[in-house]
A = this chain, B = another copy of it.
């Protein structure tokens, strides 16, 4: 590792923790802690480095979050064979996301239907035969301009209450958060060509690249909801840490 990077001065209050972190990374990348190595315990390391256990814990946690370490409660801390990088994205409710930019938020229900789940949805959400679902199409506006198109399915078997909601004033997103937790979630990000719905509601030209996120949730093996969020032109999902 070149000195030119190493010698940059960190903020004073975090120096110790960063120094410990740099030393751990150096031992991993340059030896003696090669891939697969089992690290000494936290207490032992804190003693060796002459730092508090809190500082050592934070350094190990951060190095771990950079993907270098695999920490298990009983098996201890091992150097990963290949570093795994983890990206964490905060996904606030769309209302909060819009209001944070200083824009005014508005919600609009486009359509609401209670129907038998189509086959693709039953398969996708592991629903029972003849399961009924609530299908909602909603728009979220920032300062009057369409920001996000929400295409949502809710499992009416698991959430009969959903069939009684009209969702005209409060979006299903906010209602679900307040009503039901989830224990299993699958999130995908993808680029999609604008379809007729996106053209009609988000102002895309047909075929335009649209950033979509898809989210499916279950609560203790019962499907709760599947939603696709299509975003306006130029949208980016960004995280920093």
User: What residues of chain B lie closer than 8 Å to A88, measured between beta carbons?
Assistant: 86-89
A2-B158 contact given A85-B91, A85-B92, A238-B187, CB 8 Å threshold? yes
User: What residues of chain B lie closer than 8 Å to A159, measured between beta carbons?
Assistant: 2, 4-5
Mask of A211-241 contacts with B, CB within 8 angstroms, 1/0: 1100000011110100000000001111111
Q: How large is the interface on A (under 10, 10 to 19, 20 to 34, 35 or more residues)?
A: 35 or more
Q: Is the CB of A237 within 8 A of B189?
A: yes
Q: Is the CB of B209 within 8 A of A210?
A: yes
Interface of A is mostly: mixed
Q: Is the CB of A186 within 8 A of B2?
A: no
Question: In whole angstroms, how far apart are the Cα atoms of A179 and B85 in the complex?
Answer: 15
State how many copies of this chain the complex holds: 2
User: What residues of chain B lie closer than 8 Å to A219, measured between beta carbons?
Assistant: 5, 8
A50 within 8 A of B: no
Q: Is the CB of A235 within 8 A of B183?
A: no
User: What residues of chain B lie closer than 8 Å to A221, measured between beta carbons?
Assistant: 8, 10
Mask of A16-44 contacts with B, CB within 8 angstroms, 1/0: 00100110010001000000000000000
Q: Is the CB of A190 within 8 A of B236?
A: yes
User: What residues of chain B lie closer than 8 Å to A1, measured between beta carbons?
Assistant: 179-180
Of chain B, the residue at the smallest CB distance from A7 is B220
A87-B187 contact given A5-B159, A209-B192, CB 8 Å threshold? yes
User: What residues of chain B lie closer than 8 Å to A181, measured between beta carbons?
Assistant: 21-22, 25, 29, 66
11 CB contacts below 8 A, A to B, read A5-B180, A9-B220, A10-B220, A25-B181, A83-B93, A84-B92, A87-B91, A187-B238, A188-B236, A190-B236, A190-B237
Given A84-B92, A190-B211, A191-B191: 12 more A-B contacts, CB < 8 Å: A1-B179, A5-B158, A5-B219, A9-B220, A21-B181, A29-B181, A84-B90, A87-B91, A184-B241, A187-B238, A188-B239, A191-B209
- Give chain A's interface residues, CB within 8 Å of chain B: 1-2, 4-5, 8-10, 18, 21-22, 25, 29, 66, 82-93, 95-96, 157-161, 177-193, 207-212, 219-222, 224, 235-241
